[in-house]
Amino acid sequence: MQPHSQSDVLRTRVTVLGAPIDALGWDEALDRTAHWAAERSSRILCFCNVHSVVTRRDDPALAAAIDGADLALPDGMPVAWSMRRAGVSGQPRVDGPGFMWKFCALAEQRGIGVYFYGSTPETLAALRRRLLHAFPDLAFGMESPPFRALSAKEDAEAVARIADSGAGLVFVGLGCPRQEAWMAAHRGRIRAVMAGVGAAFDYHAGTQSRAPLWMQQRGLEWLHRLASEPGRLWRRYLVTNLRFALGMVLSARRGAVIRLRREPR
């Protein structure tokens, strides 16, 4: 067996209803991402909650994106709890909105540019004001793409704008599973880390309220969102939450699979 180089990292993934989720804490996830971003390496980060883990089972494109991601992190508390029960002691929730804000602070310190792709012009304008106040030395760009499929020419122009910005990380706020499909389609075309962060743009812009911390810590953030938009979200949360709970009961009998392997940093 060939010896591993010092740049190799040990990757630990836990299967949660078939989805391979990386067992990482905040510091390691941020540091590894910053390393890739500084190198302008084309990478994909997926943040996996109950909805995406369940939807993955019915959506081959989403499954391919999550399974092939350079990091798939436990965005939801139930996902983190499942990993703890599988033997990953103290596994924290590493959520997309929290990661976005923490990484912006780190990027400002290290001189890494970031880009925000998604949401509406109004949300991006509010997010811009908040970022300028919180991180005055952060280099960033942003754009709101049309809510439709782009032509090849439009897409190429967007890729060029991202490249011209010099960003090492692109936050993608298109919603699941659209953002995961977009990242997978642009792997290798965008020389930056791509992180699908869902509603993080709205949360940090203040255009959508987030659940209080006590609800987040108890895995009840979905209930807050359901109460905010019941007409749009009732099926997403009630159906997927039930499927997740039933799936975990069945998988508990078989036991979770923990996979260890070394990969280039």
pLDDT at 180 > cutoff 60: yes
Q: Specify if 7 maps to a domain.
A: no
Residue 261 lies in a domain: no
Question: Do 216 and 92 fall within a single domain?
Answer: no
Q: Note the pLDDT of residue 53.
A: 94
The mean per-residue pLDDT over the stretch 248-256 comes to 60
> In percent, how much of the chain has pLDDT > 90?
70
Residue 132 lies in a domain: yes
Indicate if the pLDDT at residue 3 is higher than 50. Answer: no
What are the pLDDT digits (tens) for 230-247?
A: 766 667 767 776 777 777
Asked if residue 10 belongs to a domain, the reply is no
2 falls in which pLDDT band (50, 70, 90)? very low
Same domain? 241 vs 120: no
What count of other Cβ atoms lies within 10 Å of the Cβ of residue 174? 20
Contact 37, 109 (CB under 8 A): no
Q: Is residue 80 assigned to a domain?
A: yes
Is 143 within the bounds of a domain?
Answer: yes
- Structurally, how many domains does the chain consist of? 2
pTM of the model: 0.86
Which of 194, 174, 192 is closest to 123 using CA atoms? 174
In a domain, 52, yes or no: yes
* Residue entry with tokens 């010896």: 3
Residue bearing the bigger pLDDT, 90 or 218:
90
Determine the structural domain holding residue 226 and report its residue range. Answer: 209-246
The last residue of a domain, from among 158, 185, 208:
208
Cα(159)–Cα(136) distance, integer angstroms: 26
40 and 136 both lie in a single domain: yes
What does the pLDDT look like over 58-107, one tens digit per residue? 999 999 999 999 999 999 899 999 999 888 999 999 999 999 999 999 99
The answer on 137 and 186 residing in a single domain is yes
Do 26 and 140 share a domain, yes or no? yes
What is the CB-side half-sphere exposure of residue 58 using CA atoms within 13 A?
Answer: 8
Asked if residue 172 and residue 84 are part of one domain, the reply reads: yes
Q: Tell me the pLDDT band of 213, cut-offs 50, 70 and 90.
A: confident
Q: How confident is the model at residue 215 (pLDDT cuts 50, 70, 90)?
A: confident
